[in-house]
Amino acid sequence: MACFWGPDSLFGATLGVVATRVGYSGGKKPNPSYRDLGDHTEAIAIEYDPNVINYNGLLELFWSHHDPTAKCKRQYTSLIFYHDDEQKALAEKSLKEKQGKYKNPIVTEIIPASTFYDAEDYHQKYRLQGHSSLCKDIGLEGNGRLIKESFLAARLNGYVVGMGGIAQFEKELPSLGLDEKTADYVRRLVVKYEGHGMTC
Ligand code: MHO
């Protein structure tokens, strides 16, 4: 899906997703880094509650938020990782269905999940980290571990670029535990950017 910042916001704001991490995967180079990625691809690891969203739901978002026929360098190429045979079958089925929508062949590869190397802390929840006072207000600033694991960080990383939308934000707000000033700060951003799509 190209640069992983966009999908981190997209999936992070999706109901049923509980945590996200961006990283490098799919290749063989040990311990890749952003500046030395080797044969890996920018990827996102998504933890989700299957009672709220299933693998098919995640696949739908995957297909609808990038051009799977675009040929890109390995860093940005279109990949789906599966964790078991069921996911593999669902991914392959969805690819076949989506091909009908495109004139050019879909280049997406469907491959088994392999070692996922977390990206550097500054890439995690990148859009949220662009709001340092907000991160400070919610106690995340400088805490790399929490920025990766936190449900709130995943959500806000989406909301600050309008993902999820204002209706979902208002509905979820009481359970997010934000104070009024912080809620208002985020609300303004959701309203400002809702519908702008996935920007990277
Ligand atoms: N558009 C971004 C891509 C960064 S991404 C993590 C840039 O030009 O740096 O690959």
Q: How does pLDDT run across 152-168, given as a tens digit for each residue?
A: 999 999 999 999 999 99
Of all protein residues, the one whose alpha carbon is nearest to atom 3 of ligand 1 is 3
Residue 200: its pLDDT value, please? 73
pLDDT (tens digit per residue) in 24-60: 999 999 999 999 999 999 999 999 999 999 999 999 9
Same domain, 169 and 133: yes
Domain-located, residue 155: yes
75 CA: nearest ligand 1 atom? 10
135 catalytic, yes or no?
no
Q: Which of 96, 118, 140 represents a domain boundary (last residue)?
A: 118
What is the pLDDT of the chain when averaged over all its residues? Answer: 97
pLDDT at residue 109 greater than cutoff 80 = yes
Residue 182: its pLDDT value, please? 97
Of all protein residues, the one whose alpha carbon is nearest to atom 10 of ligand 1 is 3
Residue 87: its pLDDT value, please? 98
Of all protein residues, the one whose alpha carbon is nearest to atom 4 of ligand 1 is 3
Same domain, 110 and 131: no
Looking up residue 78, the CATH number of its domain turns out to be 3.30.1060.10
Token representation of residue 177: 């535990």
Residue 6: its pLDDT value, please? 97
Domain-located, residue 163: yes
**Range in 107-116, 120-129, 136-145, 164-173 the model is least confident about:** 136-145
Confidence of residue 111 (pLDDT cuts 50, 70, 90): very high
Same domain, 29 and 91: yes
Same domain, 102 and 137: no
Same domain, 154 and 78: no
2 CA: nearest ligand 1 atom? 10
Same domain, 106 and 159: no
Ligand 1 pocket residues where CB is under 6 Å: 3-5, 42, 123, 200
pLDDT at residue 197 greater than cutoff 90 = no
As a whole number, mean pLDDT of residues 139-161 equals: 95
**Range in 81-85, 134-138, 139-143 the model is least confident about:** 139-143
Residue to mutate, 44, 75, 123, 200, ligand 1, most ligand atoms under 8 Å from C-beta: 200
Angle at 121 between CA 172 and CA 62, to 5 degrees: 55
4 CA: nearest ligand 1 atom? 6
Q: Which domain holds residue 93?
A: 5-118
- Residue in 3, 72, 135, 200 annotated catalytic: 3
